[in-house]
Structure 1
């Protein structure tokens, strides 16, 4: 009879198994917030013998905080454990014309530190200097970085973003990850806004939505079945490039639709309608002027008609059910939003609700926090939500 020899367990496999259990404990504690060791055992399925050393390590690392006894209807109250959101920090970086905004947030999305710096020609160097300086003593807790950029992002490279000097693809993500040593996700800023509104904003109650963001350019962020859709080349949602007529050719980083109907275009028209200083909030200024000026009222009608055609074109392809107005488009008053809703409803093949986004600039942060935490746990996608 031949003895069956069991091969020794690989040390790598043991370490990987421990890490899976460790992340399971962290994920459970993050979701429940305050719980006893017995509840942690029940929720993770780990034995007390396995759980005890893991909990001890996580307390030492600051992930868990020991609290006093909780309330109990029967028996002796159990000592409680509380998840510490400051044990996991993420950096949200936004590339904007002439400047870089950086925020450090904990896993709850609470901002710990914020800084805006001048955007130098070497974007990677600016990011890699700003993030550690802003994180300070919390740098060891940094779990990931999410970079929001205008234009098209694919594989961590950004292109078609002339406002920040990126027309050809630049591998920002790979370069920053190599220098900072943490996972880095780079995505279009409007995609991050859509992810943020879906996580905790005007789209938190639906699985499908389209966010239309009007600023220097015009872009859309698409969430379907709870997931941000980027397309095969990362260009999904680049609606500003929709042609206005058959003669539209070439763009130099600016699409024909956004060249005519973006915030910049509206601001220029407002100067012509009401000579003077260029308005800081041109859409809001247009809405106000339209109440007293026939030319402004006619131009507002043109803007709403153009935006409605854009929304209808998107709805006919992806049927999001809800469209959120972001950026300058969110400056429309209730009457203008209602008019836009009626124009859309009259042309779409299925019911589509139009409403304002609610998070404003915070949408990018909430989306970036979700992205960065998911990037940090990319090896275990079932433990953290994928943006």
Structure 2
């Protein structure tokens, strides 16, 4: 006897999940294309016109899509066009710095619509959860996520090794903010966010693998492989400032051996010794300038470039990023110094490695935050941890 096989009915949860995935695919396609027709949206998403029509209608009502006049057409009647509205998705980018907090609200294009800076003298979580709603105002329903940049190690939303902002071990900033604001929150090392920003909208937007070397009070690296930020098992990938210089070297008070000697702070001290006076605001730029007329300064600049080159080559030996971006004080090198650094890397590296300046400067964290927060907003329905 043959028994018909009856497929079990799809559960309401599965139907809702499927609908949300389709909705997010339409949003993603429209966000990338910016302006497109319904036919083009069908091609990009693979969804049938019958499925697409109610989704588009709903997204127009929600403000994601704006109907525009007909576009140019080579054949037949001109098609009505749809334009993605970047203001339908807002992101909060929070940066924790020594004794200071900055909060920016941006749309999905990275355009800042509100910002605030303040001294960090109260509870970090309370400050973030007060600033974000105040800056977003009546558009709170458009907030898709919060990205928090910290000068330390982040793992699972908990922060450690960030002494400059009063955090040494395990403060669960991410979970606490998410519980209060009710939107996805991503907490990461500030250099990782810079790398993500340069990859999304800067000097790394044409490659899938890169390493960003950021030189400031400390030295850190952000690593992107196969288009994704890599954080390591405990979130400490890229903490290159802790590389030892001599046998037995160890970090002290959250400062690593390498950055203690070759960071912006260390260079500033040497520049003051070479040219007595006030501490320079741009030590690397001043060292480069001084090296043009002072042999001792020129020798010290070569030492700095040699140390940075060894650091880069060490990273290349392990991950082979193909492109290295210089950020922070390292981006202040002039063309001649950059060429020398490139030659030192090329001589010692086991694989071809291009060394460039990062281009976004202070905006790198914001663009990284936009990338993180939008990915985090879609992660629950698509693939957790895909950002």
Q: What TM-score, normalized to structure 2?
A: 0.94
C-alpha contact (below 8 Å) 1:120/1:126 kept by paired residues = no
Residue number in structure 2 paired with 1:367: 368
* Mapped partners of 1:41, 1:294: distance in 2: 65
Q: How does 1:191-230 map to 2 (within 5 A)?
A: 191-230=192-231
Deviations 1:210-241 (A, max 9, x none): 11100000001111122211110100110100
Work out whether 1:310 is the aligned partner of 2:324: no
* Mapped partners of 1:294, 1:374: distance in 2: 50
Q: How does 1:71-86 map to 2 (within 5 A)?
A: 71-86=72-87
* Mapped partners of 2:322, 2:36: distance in 1: 38
Residue number in structure 2 paired with 1:260: 261
Residue number in structure 2 paired with 1:40: 41
Bigger mean CA offset, 174-183 vs 49-58: 49-58
**Cα distance 1:322–1:200, how it changes in 2: closer, same or farther (>3 A)?**
same
Report the number of matched residues: 386
**Cα distance 1:343–1:8, how it changes in 2: closer, same or farther (>3 A)?**
closer
C-alpha contact (below 8 Å) 1:374/1:381 kept by paired residues = no
| Secondary structure class of the residue paired with 2:204 | coil
C-alpha displacement at 1:5, in angstroms?
A: 6.2
Q: What TM-score, normalized to structure 1?
A: 0.94
Q: How does 1:1-387 map to 2 (within 5 A)?
A: 7-381=8-382, 386-387=386-387
Deviations 1:12-37 (A, max 9, x none): 22222221222122122212222233
Alpha carbon RMSD of aligned pairs, Å? 2.0
User: Which sections of structure 1, spanning at least 5 residues, go unmatched?
Assistant: none
* Mapped partners of 2:308, 2:82: distance in 1: 51
User: Which sections of structure 2, spanning at least 5 residues, go unmatched?
Assistant: none
* Mapped partners of 1:193, 1:228: distance in 2: 10
* Mapped partners of 1:263, 1:22: distance in 2: 47
* Mapped partners of 1:220, 1:309: distance in 2: 14
* Mapped partners of 1:361, 1:80: distance in 2: 35
| Secondary structure class of the residue paired with 2:348 | coil
| Secondary structure class of the residue paired with 1:158 | strand
